[in-house]
Chain A
């Protein structure tokens, strides 16, 4: 359902557009699904011209098949596995977070979900020297804690500061600002964020359910649609830019929507130590 516009493809000029509109053909879908012969008669334009326009539009809006071998080749060359900095968690996840995938983290209040997010952010920015986008929707992001974790890694202040600069934070507290942010990251913001550091390798959303749960329940059903949109944009972002998305949710509310790998933490103590002995189960 894309609206027909001038200059969309050769031959689609203002006059033709006006004629099409008069025949109640407004969108690409309308044009493609209508009978071209009838339309050509109605608008008194050449049948061939309309057919050419239809073919170009179809080509513009279609998806192309890719061979499995090519896809595998691409997968091997572009997928990176980001270590979480915690050996037992890495082992559980088959050596870490995979780029191009969404990993979901869930657990009760105070079980250490945010701590895992902080740990991953610090590990990627300090050890791997790559950028991280951290979207905080609960106000729980404490830069002091990130610094504390970095201090456990290195005593060099310059390195600590450099690592902190590679973590880009957004503090957004409603679903529309989250969507605004994700879409603008999707359309170019990610490259901007990577200027001055490594490329963005991970997008952490802590947490998705905080912004979606105020919209769920009751009679409105918009919340569901918005939830699916968040999931959709994260998925395409993960695939197209090869970043690992780490999504923190509070309940299993997003499970089916994201079709993601889930980790759930069962240790109720957010430990002070960075190399905390979390205990994880799939």
Chain B
């Protein structure tokens, strides 16, 4: 079958010039030299070269079998959350190479979990960690350094208690609060334009720092919920952001964690609390985690995932960070204002 020129990844103006000059299908281009094409279609030499490269490219080689994919998946570790119940439900923690969304009402602990993950991703390999760096994109201004210091100190304490052999003791020398803080790169975005710009520039940042294993966007809802006058544009931009994040997660092997706010949906006279940004955004993240309250208990529910069951676990937020509840029958969690 002939492939139309308009399906190539080229700028619309170049494609228009090609079609006007009678080049409808890629087969018409293959026997041409860049010079000829540039003269006939009225495009620049460089554009002509791009056109010819795009037309002759063959993409079928990029596929892998599911078996190879399985092996690759096995190599990627997950980031522990320091709550063993949640780790178990997620099959080892927040998966690297996938996008995970954390939704929840204000004060449910979304930011706490993000800060906890920013510390946890740096746990040395010999302790079963990922030993990676973090990019933390803060759009709400909720990144509290003092809280990170608390959590980092708790994580260091926890690991130093676990250290048994020589290798782990050596690793502990570099696993300190200072190194944890120096490996967190904070980006503050005030509106959606800054957020989009940052996401586009991240590729360069990532290639300069190959150790980055976690990207946190806290939150994606805040800058976009203000852009209300043009809803179709919001949907388009959000879908673009989603594909961008998924590409980054898969190609660079990083865990992408995004937080989302909640909104009220009215259906049949009843109100219901659902994640914000609409139905179409809901398809974007691979895993969706909902943090909510039930009486005094804090609960985390996996409500979308291709490889996990819908599960609900209980957790608490202590001075040390995101933890299991010690006595499930006697919930201790106190509501903590973030």
Indicate, yes or no, whether A interacts with B: yes
Chain A contacts to B: CB under 8 angstroms: 1-3, 5, 26-27, 30, 108-110, 114-115, 118, 121, 133-134, 137-148, 161, 164-174, 176-177, 179-181, 183-189, 192-193, 207, 209-211, 213-218, 222, 225-226, 229, 233, 236, 240, 250-251, 269-272
Given contacts A187-B1, A217-B233, contact A147 B58 (CB under 8 A): no
Question: Given that A115-B306, A139-B98, A164-B66 are known contacts, is A177 also in contact with B59, CB under 8 Å in the complex?
Answer: yes
Other 15 A-B pairs with CB < 8 A, given A2-B25, A138-B286, A226-B7 = A3-B22, A133-B63, A139-B246, A139-B286, A144-B307, A164-B67, A172-B62, A181-B62, A193-B60, A209-B283, A210-B242, A210-B283, A217-B235, A229-B7, A250-B280
Check A139–B22 contact: CB distance below 8 A. Answer: no
Give B171-212 interface residues, CB cut-off 8 Å to A. Answer: none
Interfacial chain B residues near A240, Cβ < 8 Å: 1
Closest to B9 in A: A176
Q: Are B69 and A169 in contact (CB under 8 A)?
A: yes
Q: Is the CB of B304 within 8 A of A184?
A: no
Q: List 16 A-B contacts (CB under 8 A).
A: A2-B27, A3-B23, A30-B22, A110-B288, A110-B303, A121-B66, A133-B63, A139-B97, A164-B65, A168-B64, A177-B59, A186-B1, A193-B60, A193-B63, A214-B236, A214-B242
| Cα–Cα, bound, A107→B270 (Å) | 22
In this complex, which of A5, A218, A229 has the most chain B Cβ atoms within 10 angstroms of its Cβ?
A: A218
Distance in angstroms between the alpha carbons of A121 and B303 in the assembled complex: 23
**Inter-chain contacts of A226 with B (CB < 8 A):** 7
Residue B250 lies at the interface, judged by CB distance under 8 Å to chain A: yes
Total interface residues on B, CB under 8 Å, equals: 61
**Among A1, A164, A211, A216, which residue has its beta carbon within 8 angstroms of that of B24?**
A1
CA distance A118 to B279 in the complex (A): 22
Question: Is the beta-carbon distance between B60 and A192 smaller than 8 angstroms?
Answer: yes
A-B pair number, CB within 8 angstroms: 178
The distance from the CB of B7 to the nearest CB of chain A, in whole angstroms, is: 5
- Which residues 241-256 of B have a CB within 8 angstroms of A? 242-243, 246-247, 249-250
Distance in angstroms between the alpha carbons of A213 and B234 in the assembled complex:
11
Q: How far is it, in angstroms, between the C-alpha of A209 and the C-alpha of B57 when the chains are bound?
A: 24
Please report B residues at the A interface, Cβ cutoff 8 Å.
1, 3-4, 6-9, 12, 19, 21-25, 27-28, 31, 57-60, 62-67, 69-70, 72-73, 91, 97-99, 232-233, 235-236, 239-240, 242-243, 246-247, 249-250, 279-280, 282-284, 286, 288, 303-307, 309-310
Cα separation A187 to B23 with both chains bound (whole Å): 19
In the assembled complex, which residues on chain A have CB atoms less than 8 Å from the CB atom of B280?
A: 209, 213, 250-251
Report whether B236 and A218 are in contact in the complex, using a CB–CB cutoff of 8 Å: yes
Q: Are A179 and B7 in contact (CB under 8 A)?
A: yes
CB contacts (< 8 Å) of A250 on chain B: these are 279-280, 283
Query: When A192-B60, A214-B236 are in contact, do A173 and B65 touch as well, CB less than 8 Å?
Result: no
In Å, the complex CA distance between A30 and B22 comes to 10
